[in-house]
Amino acid sequence: MVKRVLVAYCVDVDACAGWLNTKDGQLANASDVSRGVFGANAGTDRMLKLFKDNNILASWYMPSHSILSFPTQMAKVRDAGHEIGLHGYTHEFVSRLTEDQERKVMAKSIKVYKEFTGKHPKGWVAPAWEISPRSMQILQAFGIEYDHSMMHHDCQPYYVSDMPPNTVHTDYSKDPDEWMIPMPKHTLTNVVEIPGSWNVDDWPPMHFSSRNPGTHGFINPRDIEVQWRDQFDFFYREYDSFVFTISCHPQVSGRSNIQLMHERLIAHLKSHEGVEFMTVAQICDEFKAGKIAGVTISAGV
């Protein structure tokens, strides 16, 4: 049986937004911000060339701040035919917003998006993949068809449930009988999930940040390349159809040694029969049309 493998490059153009959002209100480090400028300029140009050279249309998730701060650069992405998706305004952590704030950010992001593209957005990626328990309902309410922030599966699309799977809170201040209960049953939404994975993301292993202990930055890209290839190779052996999403950032993957890694990785992926590069929006369409099976997620009782 010929396999069907849908590969998507997911490019988060966090640019300066992620650095300006210092999360605790302290002033942004100007050197960090300069790395965001690099991402929006040289990094974006290199990613565009990488995709052009390999005949790939990718999905670029842009905080509104990036669209409005680097309009000429972001227009290059748009005009090259790539998909553009939502990624917050200043890369704010949605998990820390009130419901009112979350809805207001979504409304503003969609307004900026429409003015930039002339279309209604189809997909959303939560900044830093931090969502709130309300996010899926809010996506539904705003007519967003897919999310790319969750990880109920690592290589199959599915309809996502209305709550993340951590709704039981272990509250040590209370009697254990109050929290010794199974996870409540979740109901499915009409939002399609094209899952992401921290294990196929360039930022944590390959981008140093002195203020963020969760990042490294000095790992040999060849070691990361092997980890990503091994995941793909396992999926290819085990599944007749699957999706493989690669999360990257122009300020990380736009760097010279990591560009070389992507060139080698793309050649490896393309050497497999049945591999098709497409945007996440196209994968969503394929799933909704029943052209790729996906899975049904069960959670709670």
Contact positions vs Zn ion (CB under 5 A): 12, 14, 127
Min dist CB 108 to Zn ion, Å, is 17
Min dist CB 101 to Zn ion, Å, is 18
| CA–CA gap between residue 235 and residue 238 (Å, rounded) | 5
Terminal alpha carbon distance of the chain: 37
Question: What are the distances in angstroms from CA 207 to CA 32, 119, 125, 219, 256?
Answer: 11, 33, 20, 9, 13
Which lies closer to Zn ion via its Cβ, residue 109 or residue 161? Answer: 109
Which lies closer to Zn ion via its Cβ, residue 128 or residue 224? Answer: 128
Min dist CB 45 to Zn ion, Å, is 19
The dihedral built from the CA positions of residue 129, 132, 133 and 137, taken in this order, carries a sign that is: negative
Which lies closer to Zn ion via its Cβ, residue 19 or residue 287? Answer: 19
Which lies closer to Zn ion via its Cβ, residue 130 or residue 285? Answer: 130
| CA–CA gap between residue 62 and residue 12 (Å, rounded) | 6
Nearest residue to Zn ion, by Cβ distance, number only: 12
Strands (E), 149-187: 158-161
DSSP assignment string, 223-250: HHHHHHHHHHHHHHHH-SEEEEEEEE-H
Which lies closer to Zn ion via its Cβ, residue 14 or residue 286? Answer: 14
The candidate with the shortest Cα–Cα distance to 88, out of 60, 115, 63, is 63
Which lies closer to Zn ion via its Cβ, residue 13 or residue 275? Answer: 13
Min dist CB 91 to Zn ion, Å, is 6
Min dist CB 7 to Zn ion, Å, is 20
- Spatial neighbors of 220 by CB under 8 A, at least 6 apart, are none
Min dist CB 87 to Zn ion, Å, is 6
